[in-house]
Amino acid sequence: MTNDRALVKSRLSLTLVGEGPALGDLVASLHARTNRLRIKIQSVIDTSSSADIAELVHELAIPHYANEIETLANDPAPGLVVVTSNYSRDLETLKKHLPADVPILGPRQGDLVKGIIQLVEENRALAVDSRRLKETRRQLNLFVVTAPLAIYVKDTDFKYLLMNKHALHVLGFKEEKVVGSTDETLYPTGAADWLKDLETEAMKTGATLCATGILQAPGQEMHAQVTIFPITENRRTVGVYGLVEDTTELFESEQKLHQVDEQLDETQKYLQEVLKNSRDMIFLTDPDGRIQSFNNGAQMALGYGPIEVIGKSATYLWGNPDLFNKLFDEALLGGHAARYEAHLSAKDGHTVIANVSLTLITDPDGNPLEMVCLCRDITRRLQLKNDLIRSERLAAVGQMASGVAHEINNPLAVIDTIAGLVEDSLMDEGHLLPPDTQDILSKAMQRLHYQVARCTKITHSLLGFVRNTQTGMAAINLDDLLNDCLALLLVEINRCNAKINIHLDPSVPIFRSDPMLLQQVFVNLLKNALDATEEVPERDNQVNIVTQRDGQRIIISVEDNGIGIEPEYQDKIFDLFHTTKPAGRGTGLGLSIVHEILMRLGGNIKVASVPGKWSRFLVELPVVPPESLQPDPKSMEL
């Protein structure tokens, strides 16, 4: 604290006298440099009484401010008086009221004051620059020595003045062999000529240069990138800095990358050939759905050439454009979308049924690039499946033909007998018959009508099962449908001596579905159940049919106490041509067709079984049918 006071007392006290902007500028300039000039402004005399100067003096906290020079007589004598005005009377007044030993600088010495201020500023700037330069050199030297970079310094004779530790380590040199040596000493003849040429050019032009080459370091051949910085002092080049970067791994990586690129090119060409010549329809679209490519398979299936479709919306090929837009939007959101049966429009107007899969391709940031549309023509396969369904129906009819014929013959025999009796009696002696005889004839006629009705029902059911009629949706009473199926299988039931237990849920409503298809489903399931019970003749054969409603689903259970299904076959029984029946008794089509029909109707089927004890098939049907019949996805995988 004492030293601070002594420092303040040792400063030169100033009195500034003048008027107008010149006085204000001088006050502000000197006050900003009081510390560097070791001065203090003691008082300001403003002979113009300017409000701006008065405010400035107040803001700068200058001790004394006045408008009259005479007031100086009341203040301590200053060390120096600086006058900015050109009025001689001001000088005379100052000399009159100040001690004779106080120096006065008039307006003519103003340049001296400005020169002093400028000189102080320049000296200060030089001092700051000198300190910065020393600090920069110190940091640079420290960086050169400790940096994890290979750095060296050479003079104009290309002799090494310095090589840092990292460079010695990377290049495999020892410091005592490097300093004072040239590249001709360190590297084999001609191995570093490119480096000397680079340094020569940098010294000549003063520019920073960069080049790559090979340095034959001890025990290794290093691919290096070298950057040369010229060193200048007083506008004269005195040497160069060299920054060496080992790029051997990068060079090897680039070589491997080049090989990988070549392999990728070959793979891409191969893939393009595969896609181009695939029999499946493959076309690419942009994120807006416009076709960009159209392979040979698509051209063969649809009949369009690339020029006819490229650039157009893919909906141009779609029988139902709204369906395609829905699938396209789904793929854009989730990356993939599939449709197991879609209708495409060929150029000649016919419909191509296809299994469609859309896959989105994105860039590394997840932005959509293109959509891959893969379509497999399944038109012929669907036709084959329809043919197989027809064959299965005919096979089932063939198995039941003998029993149906026997069932029809019995009523016909009764019809013949009763008809003859009725005809003879009524024609010859009808009016003479006693009441008992009339009663007999009456009962006989009832039997006649019953048997005729029974025969008609059987034949109609058989014809409806065999005939290739168009299916359609209709209101269905499930109880009646199941009873009709049992009536159709009555001969099989009697032959197997099976007991049919039916538990029908009254809450099951009338619902809409395809009666012909459902009849085929339950006839197949019941026939299989009867066949399974025959495999265990020592057991009382039973088939249980249970219906119930579960929300918006109707559940029908068909359970038998037959031979059961082994676990390894339970996942395969719905596959085409898979059968567990002995040779000659099964075709492997029944359950596959059942599965497909239920899928088309919006339903499902499940199986549970304990080998040797029982099997249960659960059929699920919707109370509200789907908008349109759908194909079975699983059965599409032919």
Same-domain check for residues 109 and 232: no
CATH number at residue 306: 3.30.450.20
Give the per-residue pLDDT at 630: 53
Please determine, for residue 9, whether its predicted confidence score (pLDDT) is greater than 60: no
Task: For residue 394, give its domain range.
Answer: 386-636
Element (H, E) at 65: strand 64-66
- Phi, psi (degrees; rounded to nearest 5) at 310: -65, 130
Same-domain check for residues 235 and 295: no
Q: What are the residue ranges of helices labelled H in 435-514?
A: 435-466, 478-488, 490-496
Lowest mean pLDDT among 121-130, 201-210, 615-624: 121-130
- Residue that is last in its domain, among 246, 268, 288: 246
Specify which residues 191 forms β-bridges with.
none
Same-domain check for residues 472 and 435: yes
Same-domain check for residues 354 and 470: no
Same-domain check for residues 479 and 563: yes
Give the per-residue pLDDT at 317: 87
Please determine, for residue 556, whether its predicted confidence score (pLDDT) is greater than 90: yes
3-state SS class at 205: helix
Same-domain check for residues 523 and 440: yes
Amino acid, single-letter form, for residue 566: E
CA distance 357 to 377: 12
Same-domain check for residues 373 and 390: no
Mean pLDDT for 594-601 is 82
3-state SS class at 609: strand
Percent pLDDT > 90 in the chain is: 8
Give the per-residue pLDDT at 111: 65
Token pair for 526: 């019941």
Give the per-residue pLDDT at 452: 65
- Residue that is last in its domain, among 377, 409, 425: 377
Domain count, the chain: 4
CB of 605 closer than 8 Å to CB of 491: no
Same-domain check for residues 432 and 538: yes
- Phi, psi (degrees; rounded to nearest 5) at 508: -70, 120
pLDDT tens column, 62-81? 888 888 888 877 778 888 88
Please determine, for residue 105, whether its predicted confidence score (pLDDT) is greater than 50: yes
Number of helices (H) and strands (E) in the chain: give both, helices first.
21, 22
Q: Which residue has the higher pLDDT, 396 or 30?
A: 30
- Return the closest-CA partner of residue 17 out of 39, 44, 51: 44
Give the per-residue pLDDT at 585: 44
Q: Which residue has the higher pLDDT, 629 or 616?
A: 616
Please determine, for residue 446, whether its predicted confidence score (pLDDT) is greater than 90: no
CATH number at residue 445: 3.30.565.10
Mean pLDDT of the chain: 78
pLDDT tens column, 346-394? 888 888 888 888 999 888 888 888 898 888 888 777 766 765 665 565 5
C-alpha torsion angle, residues 208, 212, 216, 219 (rounded to 10): 110
Q: Which residue has the higher pLDDT, 612 or 630?
A: 612
DSSP labels, 295-308: -HHHHHHH---HHH
**Does pTM top 0.85 for this prediction?**
no
Please determine, for residue 609, whether its predicted confidence score (pLDDT) is greater than 60: yes
Q: Which residue has the higher pLDDT, 103 or 509?
A: 509
Give the per-residue pLDDT at 234: 76
Give the per-residue pLDDT at 496: 84
Same-domain check for residues 231 and 285: no
Token pair for 310: 């490229």
CB of 226 closer than 8 Å to CB of 194: no
CA distance 603 to 615: 20
Question: Looking at the domain assignment, is residue 513 inside a domain?
Answer: yes
Token pair for 79: 């060390």
Specify which residues 322 forms β-bridges with.
none
Give the per-residue pLDDT at 582: 47
Amino acid, single-letter form, for residue 447: R
CB of 620 closer than 8 Å to CB of 605: yes
CB of 585 closer than 8 Å to CB of 502: no
C-alpha distances (whole Å) from 357 to each of 5, 206, 213, 304, 610 are 92, 65, 53, 20, 39
Burial of 523 (C-beta count, 10 Å sphere; 0-12/13-18/19+): buried
Give the per-residue pLDDT at 540: 87
Contacts 24+ apart (CB under 8 A), 453-462: 454/411, 455/408, 455/411, 455/412, 455/415, 457/487, 458/404, 458/407, 458/408, 458/487, 458/488, 459/408, 461/487, 461/488, 462/397, 462/400, 462/404, 462/488
CA distance 231 to 453: 120
Question: Looking at the domain assignment, is residue 273 inside a domain?
Answer: no
Residue 389: CB atoms within 10 A of its CB come to 18
pLDDT tens column, 497-539? 889 999 999 999 999 988 888 888 898 899 888 888 888 888 8
CA distance 548 to 452: 35
Same-domain check for residues 335 and 297: yes
3-state SS class at 635: helix
DSSP labels, 90-117: HHHHHHHHS-TTS-EE-GGGHHHHHHHH
Token pair for 291: 């076709």
CA distance 453 to 445: 12
- Residue that is last in its domain, among 103, 121, 139: 121
Please determine, for residue 555, whether its predicted confidence score (pLDDT) is greater than 90: yes
CA distance 594 to 604: 9
Percent pLDDT > 70 in the chain is: 73
Most confident range, picked from 235-249, 259-273, 608-622: 608-622
Same-domain check for residues 93 and 15: yes
pLDDT tens column, 305-315? 888 888 899 88
Question: Looking at the domain assignment, is residue 262 inside a domain?
Answer: no
Same-domain check for residues 401 and 519: yes
CA distance 241 to 233: 14
pLDDT tens column, 161-180? 888 888 888 788 888 888 88
Question: Looking at the domain assignment, is residue 139 inside a domain?
Answer: no
Question: Looking at the domain assignment, is residue 269 inside a domain?
Answer: no
Lowest mean pLDDT among 201-215, 323-337, 450-464, 502-516: 450-464
Give the per-residue pLDDT at 583: 39
